[in-house]
Structures are given as C-alpha cells and as structure tokens.
C-alpha cells in the first residue's frame, strides 16, 4: 500500500482562470511563488488547492510541468557577500 496522499480534485472543466493561474505560478521562481500566493489575484487558486501548501502539487496535477523557465532573479545565491 502507498501512503501518498490523494491529490486535490481538479477544478471543473472550463475553469480557464485556475489553469492560467497555475501556469503563471509554476513558471515563477520559488521566492516569487511564495509572494504570489499572498496576492489577492491568486486567492481563488489557493482556495481551489485547499491551502497554500497544496498549490504546487495541485497545479502540477492540473497542468503538468511548466514549459517555460523561471525568470532570472537579481539575487545570486552563490555570492560571497
């Protein structure tokens, strides 16, 4: 038996706004994702996923892996400062 939790249900067919939010979310960097989930525009996605901690798995289930690459961030984590 597997102890993997069940994925949240997908939104009703035709809910293109949730799909678009998922795609936008998945192409963001991890830091940008955290910020995005606090914005009102992503509130419906957070609610559909069952909470912010479920958004990534919900979106990956819904739209698969992102096709774009995340935008570059100004911070370089390898800096010596």
In three-state form (DSSP H/G/I as H, E/B as E, the rest C), the secondary structure along 35-65 is HHCCCHHHHHHHHHHCCHHHHHHHHHHHHCC
pLDDT band for 81, please (50, 70, 90 cuts). Answer: very low
pLDDT band for 3, please (50, 70, 90 cuts). Answer: low
pLDDT digits (tens, 9 = 90+) for 19-72: 999 999 999 999 999 999 999 999 999 999 999 999 999 999 999 876 655 444
pTM for the full predicted model: 0.63
CA–centroid distance for 46 within its chain: 9
* pLDDT value for 62: 92
* pLDDT value for 58: 95
Rounded Cα–Cα distance for residues 14 and 52 (Å): 22
b/e per residue 19-31 (b: at least 16 CB within 10 A): bebbbbbbebeee
């Amino acid at each position: 038996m597997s102890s993997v939790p069940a994925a949240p249900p997908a939104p009703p067919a035709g809910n293109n706004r949730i799909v678009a939010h998922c795609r936008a979310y998945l192409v963001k960097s991890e830091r940008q994702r955290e910020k995005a989930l606090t914005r009102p525009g992503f509130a419906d996605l957070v609610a559909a996923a069952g909470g912010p901690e479920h958004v990534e798995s919900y979106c990956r289930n819904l739209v698969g892996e992102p096709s774009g690459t995340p935008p570059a961030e100004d911070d370089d984590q390898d800096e010596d400062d």
